[in-house]
Structure 1
Amino acid sequence: MLEENRGLLRFGAVVLVVVLVVVGGVLLFRGGSNTKLTVMSIPNDLTLRLDGHEIPANGEVNVKSGKHTLEGSRPGFQSYTQTIDISGKALNYKMYLYANGPEGREWAQRNPEQELELEHEAGKNYDEMVDRLRAKYPVLAYLPYVGDGFEASQAPSKSDPNNPEAISLAIEVYGPQGKTKALQWIQGYGWNPTTLDIIWTTGK
Structure 2
Amino acid sequence: MLEENRRPLFIGVVALAVVVVLVGGILLFRGGSQTSLTVESIPNDLTLKLDGHEIPANGEVKVKAGQHTLDGQRRGFEDYSITFTAEGDRQAVKMYLYANSAEGREWAKNNPGEELKLEAEAGRQYDQTQARLKQKYPILSQLPYVGDGFEATYTKSKSDPTNPEAISVVIEVYGPQGKEKANQWIQGYGWDPATLDLIWTTGK
Would you call these one fold, judging by a TM-score over 0.5? yes
* SS of alignment partner, residue 187 of structure 1: helix
Contact 2:50/2:69 (CA < 8 Å) preserved in 1?
yes
**2:66 match:** 66
Residue 167 of structure 1 is matched in structure 2 by: 167
**Structure 2-normalised TM-score?**
0.78
With over 3 angstroms needed to count, the CA separation of the structure-2 counterparts of 1:32 and 1:167, relative to structure 1, is farther
Output aligned runs, 1:86-101, within 5 Å. 86-88=86-88, 90-101=90-101
Give the SS at the match of 1:45: coil
Aligned-partner SS, 1:31: helix
Cα-to-partner distance string for 1:44-92 (whole Å, 9 max, x where unaligned): 1111101100111111111122221110011111111111122345221
8 Å CA contact retained: 2:149, 2:174: yes
SS state of the match for residue 69, structure 1?
Answer: strand
Structure 1 gaps, min length 5: 1-29
Q: How does 1:74-153 map to 2 (within 5 A)?
A: 74-88=74-88, 90-153=90-153
User: What's the CA shift string for 1:151-178, capped at 9, x where partnerless?
Assistant: 1111221011122221111012234432
- The within-5 A match list for 1:33-52 is 33-52=33-52
Aligned to 2:11: none
- Root mean square deviation of aligned Cα: 1.8
Matched, 1:178 2:178: yes
Q: When the two structures are superposed, what TM-score results if normalisation uses the length of structure 1?
A: 0.78
- The structure-2 alpha-carbon separation of the partners of 1:180 and 1:75, relative to structure 1 and needing over 3 Å to count, comes to same
Q: How many Å separate the matches in 1 of 2:175 and 2:99? A: 48
- Residues 122-149 of structure 1: CA deviation (Å, up to 9, x unaligned): 1222222222222222211211112122
Q: Give 1:32 shift.
A: 5.4
Q: Which has the larger radius of gyration?
A: 2
Number of aligned residues: 175
Q: Which residue of 1 aligns with 2:7?
A: none
* Secondary structure at 2:76 match in 1: coil
Asked if 1 retains the 8 angstrom alpha-carbon contact of 2:34 and 2:89, the reply is no
Aligned twin of 1:155 = 155
